[in-house]
Amino acid sequence: MADALRSRNAWRTRRLYPPAVSAAPLPDRIAAIAERVGIPVQVDEASADHPLLPGTEHVYAAWAGDVLHVHAGAFAALAETAAASAPDFVLEDEIEAHLEAAVDDREAAEPAEGDEALFQSHAAFRRGEDLPHGWYRGGEAAGPARWIVDLDVFAEVWLSAYTWARLVGTRLSLTLGEDVLEIELPADADPAEALVLEGAGLYESEPFEDEPLPPCGDLHLLFFVV
pLDDT of 153-207, one tens digit each? 999 999 999 999 999 999 999 998 888 999 999 999 999 999 999 999 988 767 6
pLDDT at 15 (0 to 100): 52
Return the CATH architecture of domain 2-108.
Answer: 2-Layer Sandwich (3.30)
Q: What percent of the chain has pLDDT over 70?
A: 86
Phi, then psi, of 151 in degrees rounded to 5: -105, 0
CATH code 2.60.260.20 region(s) in the chain? 115-225
Contact 117, 93 (CB under 8 A): no
CA separation for the pair 89, 86 (Å, rounded)? 5
pLDDT band (50, 70, 90) for residue 4: very low
Mean pLDDT of 66-82: 94
CATH code 3.30.2010 region(s) in the chain? 2-108
pLDDT band (50, 70, 90) for residue 24: confident
Contact 15, 96 (CB under 8 A): yes
On the question of pLDDT at 33 being above 80, the answer is yes
Taking each helix axis from N to C end, the angle separating 91-108 and 72-83, rounded to the nearest 10 degrees, works out to: 130
pLDDT at 164 (0 to 100): 94
Per CATH, the number for 115-225 is 2.60.260.20
Which amino acid type is present at position 160? S
